[in-house]
């Protein structure tokens, strides 16, 4: 399993010369992330936000020691970018890009699995280790170093709950956005396994939403004893209607599967404190810790 990220993680930004890539490279650097290189094919030799740009990861590796990659390239080119990062032994590979075709995500996830690489996303806000490093687009000001790990499928709801955790006087360890697409690299269970062994995490906030059954499977895993630290959860979409995609490609109730009630019930049965409103998650964590 990956180390995920910390203050020493050396990062390459793929798609560093695009507007998103530039903007977030600046914010990540401000937060303390060690960004050592950028890649944009055809822009090799330039600089972006004070970071040297290369045409390929291979070339960047000839000049720098690199551990991990964050990808901002547009959807049509994201599979290629991610495969390049996997082949170059970078880990984790974080795909921020929204709108990646599912067929590409399937190929990407299978290639990563064959190599043992951790893929976060696509369509993820990324990963942050509070107070040390962030590889993502989350607003830094809502996070404070602490002992709560966060796993979330959504972005802004994740920031909302993180800010409330901070407001009640707690803080965060490592926080991971899984991504809002139907097929993503990381699941809740992968992260629960990781948090179980992470000495800096003492409790977990699990933020889910309608669609699929990843939350139900996480609940089963917790119930069977796979994860022993306290968990508080929030599931968005109780007011959603079946058959409609609620913003995220993966947020859709199909037939009778993927409802918020099914997820909430499964988590409750596993002994997880499920907040009725997002604000209750922080209160529950305060009680549990």
Partner 1 sequence: MKLLEYEAKEYFKQFGIPTPMGKMVTTPEDAAKYVESLGKPVVIKVQLPVGGRGKAGGVKFADIPVEAKEAAKQLLGMTIKDLKVEKLYVEEKVGIVNEIYLGVTIDRNRKQHVVLASSEGGMEIEEVAAKTPEKIVRFYVDPLTGLRSYHANYIASKLGYRGGMMRKFSSFVTKLYTLAVEMDAELTEINPLAEVADGFLAADARLNIDNNALFRHKELQERLLDSYQGELTEREIEARAEDLTYVELDGDIGIIGNGAGLTMATLDSVMIHGGKAANFLDLGGGATPERIGKAVKFVLRDERTKALFVNVLGGITRCDYTAEGIVAAREELGLRKPIVVRMMGTKEEEGKAILKKNDIDTLDSMEEAAEKAVKLAGGDA
Q: Quote the CA–CA distance of 232 and 205 in Å, as a whole number.
A: 5
- 87 touches partner 1 by CB under 8 A: no
Pick the binder of partner 1 from 21, 92, 149, 212 (CB under 8 A): 212
Q: Quote the CA–CA distance of 246 and 256 in Å, as a whole number.
A: 16
The tokens for 18 are 């695009």
Stretch that binds partner 1, among 46-54, 65-73, 203-211, 218-226 (CB under 8 A): 203-211
Minimal distance, residue 216 CB to partner 1, in Å = 10
Tell me which residue has tokens 């920031």: 159
Degrees to nearest 5, angle at CA 73 with 68 and 75: 120
Stretch that binds partner 1, among 38-46, 126-134, 194-202, 206-214 (CB under 8 A): 206-214
- 99 touches partner 1 by CB under 8 A: yes
- 266 touches partner 1 by CB under 8 A: no
Nearer to partner 1, 67 or 126 (CB): 126
Q: Quote the CA–CA distance of 53 and 255 in Å, as a whole number.
A: 48
Stretch that binds partner 1, among 2-10, 31-39, 58-66, 245-253 (CB under 8 A): 245-253
Q: Would residue 248 show up in a list of annotated catalytic residues for this protein?
A: yes
**Cβ atoms 91, 67 nearer than 8 A:** yes
Pick the binder of partner 1 from 64, 244, 269, 287 (CB under 8 A): 244
Q: Say whether 70 sits in a helix, a strand or coil.
A: strand
Using CB under 8 A as the binding criterion, the count of chain residues that bind partner 1 stands at: 62
Whether the bond into 122 is cis, omega within 30 of 0: yes
Q: State the catalytic residues.
A: 248
């Amino acid at each position: 399993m990956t180390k995920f990220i910390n203050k020493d993680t050396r990062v390459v930004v793929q798609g560093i010369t695009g507007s998103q890539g530039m903007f977030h490279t600046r914010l990540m650097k401000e937060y303390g992330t060690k960004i050592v290189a950028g890649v944009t094919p055809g822009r090799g030799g330039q600089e972006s936000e004070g970071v040297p740009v290369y045409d390929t990861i291979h070339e960047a590796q000839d000049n720098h020691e690199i551990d991990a990659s964050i990808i901002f390239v547009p959807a049509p080119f994201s599979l290629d970018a991610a495969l390049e990062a996997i082949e170059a032994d970078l880990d984790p590979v974080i795909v921020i890009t929204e709108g990646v075709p599912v067929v590409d995500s399937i190929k990407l996830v299978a290639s990563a699995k064959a190599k043992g690489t951790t893929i976060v996303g696509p369509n993820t806000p990324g990963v942050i280790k509070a107070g040390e490093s962030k590889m993502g687009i989350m607003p830094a000001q809502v996070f404070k170093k602490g002992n709560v790990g966060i796993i979330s499928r959504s972005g802004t709801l994740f920031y909302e709950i993180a800010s409330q955790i901070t407001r009640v006087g707690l803080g965060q360890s490592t926080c991971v956005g899984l991504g809002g697409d139907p097929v993503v690299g990381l699941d809740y269970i992968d992260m629960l396994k990781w948090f179980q062994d992470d000495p800096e995490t003492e409790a977990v906030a699990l933020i889910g939403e309608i669609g699929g059954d990843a939350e139900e499977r996480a609940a089963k895993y917790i119930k069977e004893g796979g994860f022993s630290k306290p968990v508080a959860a929030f599931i968005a979409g109780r007011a959603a209607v079946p058959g409609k995609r609620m913003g995220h490609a993966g947020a859709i109730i199909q037939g009778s599967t993927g409802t918020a009630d099914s997820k909430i019930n499964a988590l409750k049965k596993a002994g997880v404190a499920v907040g009725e409103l997002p604000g209750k998650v922080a209160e529950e964590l305060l009680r549990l810790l």
